[in-house]
Structure 1
Amino acid sequence: MNAPVTSDDLRAAVAAGVLSEEQAARLVALSHSRRGARESATAGDEPFELFKGFNEIFIVTGLVILTLGWLGVVALWAAATIDPSDNPAWLVAQVALAGAAILWALSEYFVRRRRMVAPAITLAVLWAGNAALGFIGGQAGETLLLGAAASQAGFIVFPYGTLTIPLALTTLAVGAYWLRFRVPFAMAMIALGLFATALVLAAARAGTPSSPADLFLLSGSGPFAWITLLLGLGVFAVAMAFDMSDPHRVTRRAANGFWLHVVAAPALVNTVALTLLSQGTAQANVILSLFLAFIALVAVVIDRRSFLIAGVGYCVTLAGTVFGGSGSAFTVLVLGVVLLLLGAFWERIRRRLLHLLPLPVHRLPPAA
């Protein structure tokens, strides 16, 4: 096995003229950026990075202030130069194109060259917002404003169909951003964009959901909950593909999987759990208990805690429904103890489960 290159090796290379000091410094910076926080993670930790230093927070602050300043300049320019007879769609498109050029240039430096985490997330969010402004505001803005006014007046239904193509184009724009810069957080926005596009398309054909609960209640009106469930399964499958391609979680593929699990877990758990809770029967409560236990098992086996976080609230709700009063408080106390023990002995539990279950262990994160 080849020994890793050490700092002494780099200093010797500089002294021998093999590398310049600048090249050695860049090599060290690249090595550190590739390891990031994962190097110090102990067994059982789930790699998760939002920033790597306070300098990244400083840069994010600058990006936010820059965005506010850009919006202010655009507003002043619009007030001073735009004629009421001008085409609003073209004007919005101009602003969005200029914003896209600026964001792309900033991403080339902070994401591809500097490999910063927090600025990458911020720029991905700004890119998605700018794309939404360009496609939704430029292509559908006037129609939406007229439709919203008429809907409030009681004349017509809000024109959700107008949003379908702009939302799809916005999702494609975020996909292009991910292909170039490989920002893991962008995968979550792509998944959310697919959800939004599918739900808006369903609303255009089946009518507006009667309440937000219809997005998760399989017994509700319209196809919305089924869309949430099916897309949740699809996102979960893609997340598992990323995870299984990098079981040791040392590349961005695992980070892509993490953010997709963050989207898939609420979609799956909320849909099944809310549907069962709404029935209010003893049989449904038993099935919900089994479902939550299964979710906990899946979370431990695939080493993703997002499913447990999504199911904790339903455990509390179920305890209140079944036991009530002091029994509910006692159950919540026990749940807290169980979660603490699970977090403390996560790897031991995983190791025993992986030995018991007939699973392709080599494709899953190893248990220490």
Structure 2
Amino acid sequence: MTVTIGITVFAIAQGLTYPLISLLLAERGASEIVVGLNAAAFMLGLAISVLVVPALTRHLRAGQVIVAGLAGAAVTLVGFAVSDTFALWFVLRFALGFCVNAIYVFGEAWLNAASADTVRGRVAGVYSAGMTLGFVIGPLAIPLFGTEDGLAFAACAVLISLAAFGLGLMSRRARVEPEKLELADLPRFARAAPLLILLVLAFGFVDATVLSFAPLHMVGGGASTAAAATFIAVMHLGMIVAQPVLGVLLDRVDRWHVAIGCLAATGLIFGALMLLPATGMLIWPLGALGGAAFFGIYTSALAILGQEHKGPMLVAGASAFSLAYAAGGMLGPAATGALVNVMPGMTFALVAVLGMVSAVMLVWHR
């Protein structure tokens, strides 16, 4: 419960900042390349923070590290609320990624350490559903608070601060703690589980690309700003409904088969979304299905991690997940921004190709 609350609140911040910052940058004349690079700054913060996490684990408990990350994220969001300088927004986006990495690493290691393998898929499904609930709340704050005056950022900062306080109190009762992290374990995990890292790399690519560019794709196709934000929310509603169901499936069939299915479905659905009119009715059910499919990649990876790795390698795996997600998240928006700049309308082309190619690779190597 403690871990799920932490990740849900983090997801509110990420779900808000991705579409809101993209829309604000576009309104102020930023190009698609600038939008993509700004999203990549968040992922760079995630990656760099992995170098600091081992030092934190020597002095703080897992719950304390998560609370520190939430508190830092709240302060960063206040910075967005009071500033409109492009250069500073890159620094703040980096800082936000740096702070929330603690929630990724410790939350997922903690979750798997406390879960029995017979129900690991269902636990991962509930965890992912909580995360996606946060992603739904985040975009919905845009039409509620608007895009002016920094009110949406400020409201999110207040919510995160309250959650950090509550989580700090609850984490004192935790009976299970993940192992300490050593940087030397990261290359060991990479050699032992390259396909698992590929799964998370693909998820990071799709997640960052879709959250950053789907609003711009919608607006560019004639939809309103409110409709663009609502599309992100509908996509995540599909995730919420699907992840617990997917968790049951992960406990009953080969978890790698589920992951392959999610990759293939992601490629097909987003390829179709790219070809459909942004104002058509069909985009709404397809958006929900696409969100369910691509987030299922991560739910599958999380269940496989706990199934195949224990002890220090479990924590190393959670850290490797963070790096892989960050790498995919930096590459996806940057590459898509460059592509859309020269080929307008090809917003989801790389997502579609990556989903299908990754599915084929896993079938070939499994």
TM-score, normalization by structure 2: 0.36
Greater helix percent: which structure?
Answer: 2
Report the structure number with the largest CA radius of gyration.
1
Q: Which has the bigger relative contact order, CA under 8 A and spacing at least 6?
A: 2
TM-score, normalization by structure 1: 0.35
